[in-house]
Amino acid sequence: MSENIPIQEIDPYILRAQEAFLGFKKLNIKERAAFMHAVADEIEALGTELIAAAQSETSLPEARLVGEKARTVNQWRAYADALVNSNVLPVQIDTAIPDRTPPKPDIRKTYTGLGVVVVFGASNFPFAFSTAGGDTASAIAAGCSVIFKSHSGHPTTSAIMAGAIERAVEKAGMPRGLFVAIATDGATGGQYLVKHPLVKAVGFTGSLYGGRTLFDLASQRPEPIPVFAEMGSVNPVFLLPGRLAAAAEEVATQYAGSLTLGVGQFCTNPGILVAPKNAELPRFLNTLKTQIGQVAPAQMLHQGIAASYHKNKADLLGQAGVDVLVAVDEDNPETHGNATVATVSAQAFLANPKLGDEVFGPFGLVVTYENQAEAVAIANQLEGQLTATVLGDPAELDQHTALIEALTEKCGRLLLNGFPTGVEVCGAMQHGGPYPASTDSRFTSVGPDAIKRFARPISYQNWPDGTLPDELKNGNPLGIWRTVNGELTRGSKDGRMEGEVG
Amino acid sequence: MSENIPIQEIDPYILRAQEAFLGFKKLNIKERAAFMHAVADEIEALGTELIAAAQSETSLPEARLVGEKARTVNQWRAYADALVNSNVLPVQIDTAIPDRTPPKPDIRKTYTGLGVVVVFGASNFPFAFSTAGGDTASAIAAGCSVIFKSHSGHPTTSAIMAGAIERAVEKAGMPRGLFVAIATDGATGGQYLVKHPLVKAVGFTGSLYGGRTLFDLASQRPEPIPVFAEMGSVNPVFLLPGRLAAAAEEVATQYAGSLTLGVGQFCTNPGILVAPKNAELPRFLNTLKTQIGQVAPAQMLHQGIAASYHKNKADLLGQAGVDVLVAVDEDNPETHGNATVATVSAQAFLANPKLGDEVFGPFGLVVTYENQAEAVAIANQLEGQLTATVLGDPAELDQHTALIEALTEKCGRLLLNGFPTGVEVCGAMQHGGPYPASTDSRFTSVGPDAIKRFARPISYQNWPDGTLPDELKNGNPLGIWRTVNGELTRGSKDGRMEGEVG
């Protein structure tokens, strides 16, 4: 259960988490994976109580929550399976060459968890990026214990999810402190956790301000620790002239859908669309206006998010050269997000970096460019992004290589003719990008590679087979992929599978 | 050539490096690997001039330098080969499932260089961890351009090495700014480089003070960038009673050799040996005293290192409970390092964390423990280490699991019955460890995995085959290992090898 804990009472939880980590790290990856499936089972078994609590706490619709619950279960299973089957923490073995000068030792590298990981949940994904979300699943997969700092936006939901993990811990006989969700006094409690010497890494999903604050705290510790903060972005979409001419209405309709999905409360929400200022553009804008106009204002996740949306949107609409194209029902309740799209010229955009800031919610800015050079200049001016998208006909792509190349410097995921909302949980997914999309572009927070954030390599030199961790043993008892003397193999040290006779 | 550049003239070099990066990143990994072999060829072709310059600038013996040159060449070749053959930057492909609800897109993940990397060379490895050393080779392998900040300790050596890389750049028709070595005014110039907005990562080998300074600067930038600083350690060696009884003299002789190798100027120098206080110990100490006594004082790398050695050693010898066992020729010139070993009880060691500090040079501290609990307490008190070593008979290891487990929490490489000096360049090597051994224990600075420090993943969603980077194309034209729909394969998207008919 989430417990509300004053700062001065946090230490015993951290000490228990550290002790649990030291026990948990002795399991091999197959045993860890089995435990992760047990967690998935417990989450799957949660009944309508979970959905009802989340609906009431987040205003998200039931269908969305049912889908997000399935995704959360799937993350635990997928990360568990990847651990065993997909070489996510790649084992390498270089065997000895005793008669070389100097003799080559036997060296074998595996991974070990960093230690106690503190996870801060997101308000916009009460399941998939929260208590039992991707950060928790990947930290456990890496062999760490987790202290989850509950989000004040959905305490009951968090407590129910924490209960599921704790049941799995108990049934599987895992050490008791392996996972704990604690609610503590807001920012101060969170900062206390990040500064604690026994805490070795942090996972965070949320605002740039929040993420950067934690990153700074963690970097300035006597022993700095890694923080993976996913802080969102404007996910720019670049519309090329051929595609605009061929499908102005279709593209406008799709863009309106992606922009307003979930009241615009996704970190991959496409907040900026860059379009050519030509004779076809009015068709696109008119359809966009019509489509956006039909989206009823809806309640946002919580009061604070709605207040920020209205404030940030007003700030942006007040900038020079920004004109409102469509704003749904300005008199809607202040708890609701009303879809709004504005336009601005490339020239005005390039002159004012503030126009590149994220407005979290259903707000879109259409930036119109006169020529390719302006489009490239916009791409170059943008800060780091989770995603960037090109909407273009295949035939026109090679006329826009400068733009496409500029975008590869700015994002973690580059889409063609799609929209960035809807983040597939799979091995090839990169969810993270150059700062400020995330604090470390070398890692992802979605997909099994998220595990890599919380593990470190350790090499064993000249240890006898019986004393090595299972994944390093000659016979490859876990049957995993390993690189042995430079060659990938699923066999034993000598290339044979366990039990095979050569 | 290294050029001596005032700060106000550095910018053009950085701009040229950025432009070179944008050109270089268009090469596929096979083309990058071919260029790296060309660099290796140029270094290999360097004549006696290089060795002579290094000998005169570093006082290192010729045989050592000849070996280090070969190692440097080998690093370029090994990292190039790993790039193509060993899945160091692991490509993943998840193909579309159009009839799923919602449809699954086609997502393919590869890696791209971070951008301009600044490398600070080490004084103790003028070739292998300097101008054309492991950091430069791994940054180039990752697809980055490199600005090398020359070490003031060996400017001519650096210039000769830089010339080799520059010749390879020119012959291969690579962009001119891909590599530049610049000498600038000490710390200020280095800090200017680290703070420059176009610089995206830093590689450093050197002192804790220097590494932490760069790390702090980089973390506090508006856009923080990763710093991999390898800052050395005391590399503790734990001698168990069985091994002491069986081989006191042999172990003492080997320890003396490792401790004084290269005048103790290795980051893996075993500065602390923890031994049982029993009836066998005097045999070990007597041999150690004799062996150390025979090591003639030798010139250290430069005046500053020698001065630090004498100062830090004196500080340590002045601590309570520390007794000199042997100190070679106290009257040797102050440019020389004289081998020295002292002893201290576990109790005194545990009471004074200063005794765990590194004294860079041929100084060893033997800590004597009364019982296993003391040995474990020492392990737990230690800071993060590059290596930790157990000297034990195989039969006694399972009586010391608490100690061995404690050591896995403290180091990047754990050795049995060997000594940590001599770092094998291979896939399974981990050279890096929990802070303060390095700033990010998740990475290594030796072995092909060092490349991972300077590359970030980028996913392509729904791009047509012809527009994808070569490593992501359906037919696998580079013939590399890839994970396709969760399965590792060296074949095409459909599991077939390029050109194979199914």
What value of ipTM does the predicted structure carry? 0.96
Q: State whether B93 and A428 contact (CB < 8 Å).
A: yes
Task: Locate A91 and state its tokens.
Answer: 């084992």
Q: State whether B455 and A463 contact (CB < 8 Å).
A: no
Q: For chain B, what is the total number of helices (H) and then of strands (E)?
A: 14, 20
Q: Select from B405, B413, B483 the Cβ nearest to the Cβ of A86.
A: B483
Please give the pLDDT value at position B8.
Answer: 85
Of A151-155, A352-356, B141-145, B283-287, where does mean pLDDT reach its minimum? A151-155
Rg (CA), chain A: 25
Q: State whether A483 and B427 contact (CB < 8 Å).
A: yes
A303-331 per-residue burial string, b: 16 or more CB within 10 A, e: under 16:
eebbeebbebbeebbebeebeebbbbeee
Q: Compute the nearest-CA separation of B27 from chain A (Å).
A: 13
Domain boundaries, chain A: 3-231+442-455, 237-416
Q: Sorting pLDDT into bands at 50, 70 and 90, what band is A240? A: very high
DSSP classification of residue A399: G
Q: State whether A462 and B85 contact (CB < 8 Å).
A: no
Q: Are B447 and B465 in contact (CB under 8 A)?
A: no
Q: Compute the nearest-CA separation of A94 from chain B (Å).
A: 6
Q: Select from A81, A85, A418 the Cβ nearest to the Cβ of B461.
A: A418
Only one residue has tokens 């002159």, namely A351
Q: What angle do CA A146, A152, A154 make, to 5 degrees?
A: 90
Q: How many CB pairs under 8 A join A and B?
A: 211
Q: Sorting pLDDT into bands at 50, 70 and 90, what band is A27? A: very high
Tell me which chain A residues have a C-beta less than 8 angstroms from the C-beta of B87: 87, 90, 483, 488
Q: Please give the model's pTM, rounded to 2 decimal places.
A: 0.96
Tell me which chain B residues have a C-beta less than 8 angstroms from the C-beta of A86: 483, 486, 488
Which residue from A minimizes the CA distance to B213? A220
| Rounded Cα–Cα distance for residues B394 and A464 (Å) | 8
CA–centroid distance for B175 within its chain: 27
Nearest one of B286, B284, B290, B293 to B330, comparing CA atoms? B293
Task: Locate A287 and state its tokens.
Answer: 């359809």
Please give the pLDDT value at position A122.
Answer: 87
Nearest one of B323, B40, B266, B1 to B156, comparing CA atoms? B1
Nearest one of B365, B446, B459, B376 to B412, comparing CA atoms? B446
Helix (H) or strand (E) holding A388: strand A385-391
Q: Quick check: helix, strand or coil at residue B485? A: coil
Nearest one of B477, B501, B502 to B490, comparing CA atoms? B477
Q: What angle do CA A336, A267, A390 make, to 5 degrees?
A: 115
Q: Select from B226, B424, B461 the Cβ nearest to the Cβ of A414.
A: B461
Considering the four listed CATH numbers 3.40.309.10, 3.30.420.40, 2.60.40.10, 1.10.510.10, the one that applies to the domain covering A237-416 is 3.40.309.10
Tell me which chain A residues have a C-beta less than 8 angstroms from the C-beta of B216: 219-220
Q: Are A10 and A189 in contact (CB under 8 A)?
A: yes
Tell me which chain A residues have a C-beta less than 8 angstroms from the C-beta of B488: 86-87, 481, 488
Please give the pLDDT value at position B5.
Answer: 82
Q: State whether B429 and A109 contact (CB < 8 Å).
A: yes
Which residue from A minimizes the CA distance to B142? A442
DSSP classification of residue A496: P
Q: Select from A85, A417, A459 the Cβ nearest to the Cβ of B462.
A: A417
Tell me which chain B residues have a C-beta less than 8 angstroms from the C-beta of A400: none
Q: Sorting pLDDT into bands at 50, 70 and 90, what band is A495? A: low
Q: Which amino acid is at B165?
A: I
Q: State whether A428 and B394 contact (CB < 8 Å).
A: no
Tell me which chain A residues have a C-beta less than 8 angstroms from the C-beta of B418: 105, 461-462
Tell me which chain A residues have a C-beta less than 8 angstroms from the C-beta of B394: 464, 467
Which residue from B minimizes the CA distance to A415? B461
Tell me which chain B residues have a C-beta less than 8 angstroms from the C-beta of A453: 442
Q: Compute the nearest-CA separation of A228 from chain B (Å).
A: 12
What are the residue numbers of the active site of A?
230, 267
| Rounded Cα–Cα distance for residues A243 and A249 (Å) | 11
Please give the pLDDT value at position B496.
Answer: 55
Q: Quick check: helix, strand or coil at residue B154? A: coil
Chain B contact probe: residue of A83, A89, A441 with most B CBs at under 10 A: A441
Q: Are B481 and B474 in contact (CB under 8 A)?
A: no
Q: State whether B428 and A220 contact (CB < 8 Å).
A: no
Task: Locate B282 and state its tokens.
Answer: 């005097």
**CA distances for A185 relative to A108, A148, A193, A220, B209, angstroms:** 45, 14, 11, 22, 36
Q: pLDDT in tens for each of the 502 residues of chain B?
A: 445 788 889 999 999 999 999 999 999 999 999 999 999 999 999 989 999 999 999 999 999 999 999 999 999 999 999 999 988 999 999 999 999 988 999 999 999 999 999 999 888 899 999 999 999 999 999 999 999 998 888 999 999 999 999 999 999 999 999 999 998 776 788 999 999 999 999 999 999 999 999 999 999 999 999 999 999 899 999 999 999 999 999 999 999 999 999 999 999 999 999 999 999 999 999 999 999 999 999 999 989 999 999 999 999 999 999 999 999 987 888 999 999 999 999 999 999 999 999 999 999 999 999 999 999 999 999 999 999 999 999 999 999 999 999 999 999 999 999 999 989 999 999 999 999 999 999 999 999 999 999 999 999 999 999 999 999 999 999 999 999 999 999 988 765 544 443 3
- Over residues A360-406, the pLDDT tens digits come to 999 999 999 999 999 999 999 999 999 999 999 999 999 999 999 99
Q: Compute the nearest-CA separation of A414 from chain B (Å).
A: 5
Please give the pLDDT value at position B288.
Answer: 98
Q: Quick check: helix, strand or coil at residue B417? A: coil
Q: Sorting pLDDT into bands at 50, 70 and 90, what band is A496? A: low
Please give the pLDDT value at position B329.
Answer: 85
CA–centroid distance for B291 within its chain: 29
Q: Are A118 and A193 in contact (CB under 8 A)?
A: yes
Q: State whether B107 and A456 contact (CB < 8 Å).
A: no
Q: Which amino acid is at A7?
A: I
pLDDT over threshold 90, residue A492: no
Q: Which amino acid is at A286?
A: N
| Rounded Cα–Cα distance for residues A127 and A197 (Å) | 29
Nearest one of A84, A114, A99, A85 to A18, comparing CA atoms? A114
Task: Please state the rounded mean pLDDT for residues A344-367.
Answer: 97
Q: Select from B107, B442, B481 the Cβ nearest to the Cβ of A456.
A: B442
Q: Sorting pLDDT into bands at 50, 70 and 90, what band is A498? A: very low
Q: Sorting pLDDT into bands at 50, 70 and 90, what band is A232? A: confident
Chain A contact probe: residue of B66, B74, B109 with most A CBs at under 10 A: B109
Query: According to the CATH classification, is domain A3-231+442-455 in 3.90.1150.10?
Result: no
Sheet holding B199-205, edge to edge: B3-5, B179-184, B145-149, B116-120, B199-205, B227-230
pLDDT over threshold 90, residue A436: yes
Report the relative pairing of strands B237-239 and B227-230 from DSSP bridges: unpaired
| Rounded Cα–Cα distance for residues B2 and A217 (Å) | 38
Q: Compute the nearest-CA separation of B484 from chain A (Å).
A: 9
| Rounded Cα–Cα distance for residues A437 and A202 (Å) | 16
Q: State whether B483 and A427 contact (CB < 8 Å).
A: yes
Q: Which long-range contacts (CB under 8 A, 24 or more apart) does A278-281 make?
A: A278/A241, A278/A244, A280/A241, A280/A244, A280/A245, A280/A248, A281/A244, A281/A248, A281/A368
Q: State whether A430 and B405 contact (CB < 8 Å).
A: no
Q: Compute the nearest-CA separation of A211 from chain B (Å).
A: 12
Helix (H) or strand (E) holding B14: helix B11-24
**CA distances for A414 relative to A206, A262, A268, B77, B94, angstroms:** 22, 22, 12, 32, 15
Nearest one of B313, B417, B327, B325 to B366, comparing CA atoms? B325
Tell me which chain B residues have a C-beta less than 8 angstroms from the C-beta of A115: 409
Q: Compute the nearest-CA separation of B274 from chain A (Å).
A: 19
Which residue from A minimizes the CA distance to B430? A459
Please give the pLDDT value at position B500.
Answer: 40
Which residue from A minimizes the CA distance to B411? A458
Q: Sorting pLDDT into bands at 50, 70 and 90, what band is A177? A: very high
Chain B contact probe: residue of A243, A261, A430 with most B CBs at under 10 A: A430
Q: State whether A430 and B458 contact (CB < 8 Å).
A: yes
Q: Tell me the helix, strand and coil percentages in chain A, rounded to 5.
A: 45, 20, 35
Report chain A's mean pLDDT, rounded to a whole number. Answer: 94
Q: State whether B463 and A416 contact (CB < 8 Å).
A: yes
Report the relative pairing of strands B482-484 and B487-489 from DSSP bridges: antiparallel
**CA distances for A211 relative to A149, A253, B15, angstroms:** 14, 33, 30
What are the residue numbers of the active site of B?
230, 267
Q: Compute the nearest-CA separation of B329 from chain A (Å).
A: 31
The more confident residue out of A331 and B141 is: B141
Which residue from A minimizes the CA distance to B21? A409
Q: State whether A104 and B424 contact (CB < 8 Å).
A: yes
Please give the pLDDT value at position B65.
Answer: 96
Nearest one of A343, A413, A399, A341 to A371, comparing CA atoms? A399
DSSP classification of residue B454: G
Q: Select from A215, A461, A481 the Cβ nearest to the Cβ of B488.
A: A481
Please give the pLDDT value at position A499.
Answer: 42
Q: What angle do CA A182, A186, A189 make, to 5 degrees?
A: 60
Please give the pLDDT value at position B122.
Answer: 87
Report the relative pairing of strands B323-327 and B227-230 from DSSP bridges: unpaired
| Rounded Cα–Cα distance for residues B439 and B209 (Å) | 12
**CA distances for A446 relative to A137, A205, A228, B453, B471, angstroms:** 10, 11, 12, 20, 22
Which residue from B minimizes the CA distance to A102? B422
